[in-house]
Amino acid sequence: SQLAEENLWALSVHEGESVTVNCSYKTSITALQWYRQKSGEGPAQLILIRSNEREKRNGRLRATLDTSSQSSSLSITATRCEDTAVYFCATDAGTGGYKVVFGSGTRLLVSP
Amino acid sequence: SVLLYQKPNRDICQSGTSLKIQCVADSQVVSMFWYQQFQEQSLMLMATANEGSEATYESGFTKDKFPISRPNLTFSTLTVNNARPGDSSIYFCSSREAGDQDTQYFGPGTRLLVL
């Protein structure tokens, strides 16, 4: 079973709107990562938020982490068509090898 | 940052044959991994490629089926032995940059279709 799961399979917004993708996880973590995968490409890391952090920003992106409820969110403000992608959360096992276990992903469509 | 290159970017092969996928990093990386992604699904960690030693495989993946080599800190190969249609998927190599454990990088993927 997946150690991390995004709460929605798909989301659709219009350009300029804000959107939030939520994730829940089942294991103790050292960090949680958010990735974006555009069609035909490999995943690209957006944000890594450590277990002792509550919020992290990267431009229009903001990630939160709540270790008590084992949940995280990724918010995108002022969305653009090029934000259309699959967004994955992933748990960082932090066992020395830094292997990353992905959730099932939320498909975001940003339309004009 | 690290750039990862994969070769081939796609391939079609017959059932029962073997295919080798190469991954090259543009700089030395401490950790290298291989992931499998089926159409419209998540990425599944297959194994950690260890320099100069045997790879560490995740549950459901074996060295007989997916032998992995990593002769140095910039190169790894994944072989798909006795390919079956169920192996049709995208294979990604991934790395963590030495000295920067906060960022994981992925190659562009190798799309494999087994007939």
The answer to whether A44 faces chain B, any CB pair under 8 Å, is yes
Tell me the pLDDT band of A1, cut-offs 50, 70 and 90.
very low
Task: Report the mean per-residue pLDDT for chain A.
Answer: 90
Superfamily of domain B4-114: Immunoglobulins (2.60.40.10)
The answer to whether A34 faces chain B, any CB pair under 8 Å, is no
Segments of chain B with pLDDT less than 50: none
Q: Give the A:B interface size as CB pairs under 8 Å.
A: 46
- Residue written as token pair 């099932």: A104
**Cβ(B34)–Cβ(B93) below 8 Å:** yes
What residue in A sits closest to B106 (Cα-Cα)? A42
Selected residue with higher pLDDT from B92 and A92: B92
Is a pLDDT exceeding 80 seen at residue A98?
Answer: no
Whole-angstrom Cα distance, residue A67 to residue A71? 7
Whole-angstrom Cα distance, residue A71 to residue A8? 13
Is a pLDDT exceeding 50 seen at residue A31?
Answer: yes
Average pLDDT over residues A25-49: 92
Domain ranges in chain B are 4-114
pLDDT at B5: 97
Q: Domains in chain A, please, with CATH?
A: 4-111 (2.60.40.10)
CA-to-CA separations, A63 to B5, B32, B94, in angstroms, rounded: 29, 26, 23
Amino acid sitting at position B11 = D
